[in-house]
Amino acid sequence: MSELQEEPKRDRTGVELFAGAGGLAMAVHQAGFRPLLFNEFAPRACQTLEANGAKPRGDEERIPEPGEPWPLVAGDVQDLDMSYLLGRVDVLAGGPPCQPFSLGGIAKGDEDKRNMFPQMFKAMRQIRPKAVICENVVGLLRPSFKPYLEYILREMEMPFELRDPNTPWQRHNQDLMDLIEARDRASGDPAERYKVVMTRVNAADYGVPQIRHRIIIVAFREDLGVDIEQFKEDVLPQYSEEALFRAMLDDSEDSYWSRHPEVPEPVRAAAKARARTGIAKGSALISDGLKPWRTFRDAIAGIDENEGNPLPKITWDRLDRQEHRAGGFTDHIGWPGARIYKGHTPNELDRPAKTVKAGVHGVPGGESVMLTDDLETPEGTTYKHRYMTVRETARVMTFPDDWKLEGPRGEKMRQLGNAVPVKLGAVFANAVAKALDTASGPTT
């Protein structure tokens, strides 16, 4: 049963914009927020959301009751009126399209029509959520974008201060700076101001078996009296590379290798050598109190809700684009033609996977190629490689195996590349839920 088909324990509510394949939506729902509305533009992603419990809303603007299907509005968020949800939403979540700021895109930034941050601010004005969770790429931290990032944070802090369409953002930014300074000196309406926390994250530091650098911006309505410092404590990293190195160099029953006894000795030896090098360059073999990074091999073997449910091996005679349903798994399909070439090194099993990317056509070149434990020749030193399957990629994104993805392979990979890893989103969604539960201000 998919995660969106199980009701949260308490009736907190959420709205998800730019929902995509549902990674952040799933995390927010797991944290106890019942979806009142989804919005997504891409048709295939909408099909994925419907396959997992969402239902087209139609033209009727109504609040769904607990247990009802979650309303989905497909189409341009700029045409969406959410004012009927005013005062009914605990958390507004979404990852505005990142192409304007991505290192892999053309990086036009605020001039790019695909910049959807203004739509998040419009939603804040229309529904006045208690909290906002917003994920985006680290490209926003580049020096060329830093002034605009600071403007985004100020707009999120003061979303009710409308910008005249004819006013350059730089001028509006200065107006916001002046207004914030004035508000700091004299009290204003705290229900129209938000406290904003931006966190730079590597998903691997939060239990995701993937190196994925992002920023997560969280805002709380000021009148709620949320303990911001406690929230920051609650979203600190929980896993580390150093802890993985220690686990690899440990020969006890609790070591990394005890979970993977099938690994050939040469592969194990090479991984240990890399761990020794990493320890030598970094910290000593002293515990930092964190858990070991999860690896690609961990993901395939099964972690969290997939614990004890390993994906079957893709044999070399089945790189045939056919669904064989080994072990009953869907989307675990071998694909031919994988190549290793300069600038696109493959994924290694005993490291977190590389960043899952959407790619130009949904299949991102060498980033989705993996090295295996199989030698090219019995006495050789070169290991065979192949493409990651969609199911392996979904596990790297910490999607549960029963989460359905719609469309051809390329579209499924695109949806995963654009998604928020569920486990990363869950850390922040749970911290937001805790912050709202313990807030000292009004409950409405």
- Give me the percent of the chain exceeding a pLDDT of 70: 90
- Note whether 441 and 225 are within 8 A (CB): yes
**pLDDT confidence of residue 116:** 85
**pLDDT confidence of residue 360:** 47
Side chain identity at 299, as an amino acid letter? A
Average pLDDT score over residue span 280-285: 61
- Give me the percent of the chain exceeding a pLDDT of 90: 73
In the numeric block, which tokens belong to residue 335?
A: 């694909």
Give, for 199, the enclosing helix (H) or strand (E).
Answer: strand 194-202
CA-based nearest residue to 125, from 180, 162, 151: 162
Residues whose CB falls within 8 Å of the CB of residue 167, separated by 6 or more in sequence, listed in order: none
Give, for 26, the enclosing helix (H) or strand (E).
Answer: helix 23-30
Rg, the chain, Cα only: 23
Helices (H) and strands (E) in the chain, counts: 12, 12
Sheet with 131-137, strands from edge to edge, namely 54-56, 70-74, 33-40, 12-17, 91-94, 131-137, 213-221, 194-202
According to DSSP, the residues that pair with 344 across neighbouring strands are 341
Q: Which long-range contacts (CB under 8 A, 24 or more apart) does 82-85 make?
A: 82/15, 82/37, 82/123, 82/126, 82/127, 83/126, 83/127, 85/15, 85/36, 85/37, 85/126, 85/127
From 24, 98, 116, 217, the catalytic residue = 98
User: pLDDT tens across 96-121, in order?
Assistant: 875 555 545 444 545 556 688 999 99
* Dist. CA 391–CA 51, nearest whole Å: 16
User: pLDDT tens across 404-418, in order?
Assistant: 999 999 999 999 999
* Dist. CA 212–CA 153, nearest whole Å: 22
**pLDDT confidence of residue 362:** 45
In the numeric block, which tokens belong to residue 224?
A: 């709620």
Indicate the length of the chain as a whole number: 444
- Note whether 132 and 219 are within 8 A (CB): yes
Please report which confidence band the pLDDT of residue 1 belongs to, taking 50, 70 and 90 as the band edges: very low
Task: Give the SS3 label for residue 134.
Answer: strand
In the numeric block, which tokens belong to residue 306?
A: 């997939």
Side chain identity at 118, as an amino acid letter? P
CA-based nearest residue to 131, from 69, 56, 218: 218
* Dist. CA 368–CA 400, nearest whole Å: 19
According to DSSP, the residues that pair with 137 across neighbouring strands are 214
In the numeric block, which tokens belong to residue 36?
A: 């009142």
Task: Give the SS3 label for residue 244.
Answer: helix
Query: Is 98 part of the annotated catalytic residue set?
Result: yes
User: pLDDT tens across 354-369, in order?
Assistant: 999 986 444 545 679 9
* Dist. CA 149–CA 142, nearest whole Å: 9
Q: Show the domains of the chain with their CATH numbers.
A: 3-238+421-437 (3.40.50.150), 241-289 (no CATH)
- Note whether 10 and 32 are within 8 A (CB): yes
**pLDDT confidence of residue 366:** 63
User: pLDDT tens across 333-392, in order?
Assistant: 999 999 988 878 899 999 999 999 986 444 545 679 999 999 999 888 899 999 999 999
Residues whose CB falls within 8 Å of the CB of residue 236, separated by 6 or more in sequence, listed in order: none
CA-based nearest residue to 360, from 48, 74, 106, 138: 106
User: pLDDT tens across 131-172, in order?
Assistant: 999 999 898 898 888 888 999 999 999 999 999 988 988 999
Give, for 45, the enclosing helix (H) or strand (E).
Answer: helix 43-51
**Beta strands at 369-375 and 383-387: parallel, antiparallel or unpaired:** antiparallel
